[in-house]
Amino acid sequence: MIKKNKFCFQIFFASLILYWLLSATMANAGYDLGILKLILVSVGLFFYLITLTFTKFSKKEMVLFIILNVIVVLAFIFSGMANFGILTIVPIMFSLKNVTIKEAVRTMFWVLLIYYICFLVLCLFNIIPTSYYIKTDAFGIDYNMLKLGNQHGNSNFVIVFNILSTFLYGYYDRLKKIHFIFLFALVLLFYVLLSSRTGIILSLLTLFIFYYYKFIRKNKENSNNNVISFFVRNSYSIFYVTVFFIAAFLKNSFVYNFLNKLVSSRIAEINHYLIDVGFGLFPKKVNFDWICDNTQVKILVAYGLVFTILYLVVVNRSIKKLYEKNFNLEIILMVIYLLYSYSEVAFFKPMSDFTMLFLIYAFSTVKIKDEENL
């Protein structure tokens, strides 16, 4: 039964990932993908229902499942944002009962890899349209950006980053130095093609951290230093609040201007939506009149302060439990994806940010890996 549940989850999860990939790569390609997307949703829903039918939940988990679904659905309805990805968060997390998070990540890796190889081949033969355009960044530097499927280069690099991170995390125990050499070269190649500055910085940072943990770090236990422990356990919230504080209260300062240039005016976007547009306690419909390449500011402004605080509470609780069991790489990955989400709107869905799977770890018996003791 467990094997059947694993298979059903993998099909369900793969269908949702493919749905996101089609939306992320083919939205401007000129193809009508409505029927294909409908098929993917139908297949995913079918296997999700099978998974639920044969999965045993405790009364506490059932109550939590209902409450979280109600919160998410209400946020979706009253925000008016067509972000269907938010509706998948709770179903995916609660489908992990018979699947370890590592197994889910490996499924995600293979779906991403196979799809993107096929996508690149179709672009190579111009079956999917490809073009270049010249972009001038905040430092006044002009550079070519490749638009695969007529999508922005940054959107494509999000997929490249996900392939990189899911491989490193899903197959961490099998990593060898040759993998890092190959991945380093591959990331540089895609940077030359796609010119995504945020993508290359965070990709190289991720490679360095995994290399350090795999081959250099000797002490496998967490530090007993209270300051370090406090920072790690609260790192997500610290970065979250710090970026918003700089954007809202330090306008025209050196730090504000430097970061704003570094991330191509993303800090100015946050300032505009926090100060000029504003946010309330509860979800509301927002006219995103400026380009808003920022997942976190959209969450706060559209879904409201109460939803955002609840989200951060769940994140902090998850990180605390991860830290107690020495799952430091998981915490680091959550922070890296948080940083990436300040430059892109592709996140806040498990299909493009697998670290959201760790959120269920706060209040469930879901395992990170097979050999884990609960």
Residue showing tokens 């298979």: 7
pLDDT of residue 140: 61
Instruction: Please name the amino acid found at residue 162.
Output: N
Residue spans per domain, the chain: 102-218, 225-366
Query: CA angle, corner 272, sides to 25 and 244, nearest 5?
Result: 85
**What pTM was computed for the model?**
0.90
Beta bridge mates, 131: 147
Distance from the Cα of residue 11 to its chain's centroid? 20
Three-state SS across 225-278? CHHHHHHHHCHHHHHHHHHHHHHHHCCCCHHHHHHHHHCCCHHHHHHHHHHHHC
Q: What is the CA radius of gyration of the chain?
A: 20
pLDDT averaged over 10-residue windows placed end to end, the chain, 374 residues: 77 93 78 85 90 82 86 83 78 84 94 94 84 64 69 84 96 94 94 86 95 84 71 85 88 87 82 85 78 81 89 90 88 92 82 89 74 51
| pLDDT at site 2 | 59
Please give the pLDDT value at position 374: 47
Task: Return the closest-CA partner of residue 239 out of 322, 335, 315.
Answer: 335
Q: Is the dihedral of CA 325, 329, 330, 332 positive or negative?
A: positive
Give me the sign of the Cα torsion angle 10, 322, 367, 166: positive
| pLDDT score at 170 | 94
pLDDT of residue 266: 83
